Amino acid sequence: MVKYSKLISFLLAFVGTWVILLGSSYFSSASPLSPTTNRAPASTQEFQSGRQAAVGEIIKVVEVEASEPIVAKPARPVSPTPKPDPGVFKIMIAGDVMLDRYIRKLGERNGYDSLFTDITPLLHTADLAVINLEGPITNFPSKTLLPNGSTTPELVFTFSPEVAPALARAGIDLVSLANNHTDNFGLAGFEQTKEYLKPAGLGWFANPWNSRGDSKTVCQKGICVAFVGYHEFREGFDNVLAEVRALDSQVDLVIVMPHWGEEYVAEPSERLRDKAQVLVMAGADLIVGAHPHVVMEREEIGQVPVFYSLGNFLFDQYFSVETMNGELLEIDLVRDEATGQAKISQILIHGISNASRAGVSPHTLPPQKF
């Protein structure tokens, strides 16, 4: 580096000298009336003194610059995530999330945040992100992951208390508790779940028993949305219908998230279609189902979108392509300027995958419009 500094210094000094010589020659030959000369030509002594000073300054500058470390030009800053439209209430809804068994093993080994690393940026673009939490959060020991690291075929789930803050950091805001695993540890497990969700800043709605009063209303951007859950494998569908009817007149939109259907069956039965029809008649504005662990057909009943099942969002069912893939809905709500009524302006369907066996990831293909 020093060798090149001296070479650069010599070359610049040499060029500087010739510049000064040429300049001096030009000044001495110029006419006294020339506007470029307003004093007598420089003497030889003045010229030599000026040349030495100029060369000294050149060498000083070159040495200082050459001694500075070479720093790469900083990369262009990454564009920040676009700010949400102030007039759009953006909701994301995903399917089944199970955090016991092999998923628990991954969480304990790699940290629970690692399960959501790839999907977190997308979730954070939503004003509200909702999932079906397929089990309780308790301090009871797991029945599906043994201390020696082996898993069991048990279907009684409990999730570590560590999952609540991890879900919140991933961008999840609200969870449905209306499913067939939330009560795996009875009422005690259900109560513990609520206790662990609260300090993490997570909201919840519904229950496994279809009791009334556990719906959740969320208001943002001047739009109020009620979330109602339904667990098909318990009695109480009439309670759910009564809840939907009561909320219909109190909020702008009612979203129903039923836990229903047959596992691994993609086509909804007539029973499910009939229940969806009744829910729409009661006042549901959007129906998003769970439980079958595969993506089911979707349709519109009147103008109400019905997604019978979004499949798995995070689950260790790696035995088929259908159970490893699921859907994530991005729903934009706006208020119609002409009517003043809130409405669904757009639904995008994002594909997600568990195929990495390390967590949930978004598909690389762009989302589909409903």
pLDDT confidence band for 8 (50 / 70 / 90):
very low
- Among 92, 115, 98, 105, residue whose Cα is nearest residue 350: 92
Token duo for residue 15: 């060029």
Tell me the average pLDDT of the chain: 84
Q: What's the CATH fold of domain 89-369? A: Purple Acid Phosphatase; chain A, domain 2 (3.60.21)
pLDDT of res. 317: 97
pLDDT confidence band for 35 (50 / 70 / 90):
very low
Give the residue range(s) of CATH 3.60.21.10 domains in the chain: 89-369
Q: pLDDT digit string (tens) for 292-318? A: 999 999 999 999 999 999 999 999 999
Global pTM reads: 0.78
**Counting beta carbons within 10 angstroms of the beta carbon of residue 93, is it exposed (0 to 12), middle (13 to 18) or buried (19 or more)?**
buried
pLDDT confidence band for 85 (50 / 70 / 90):
confident
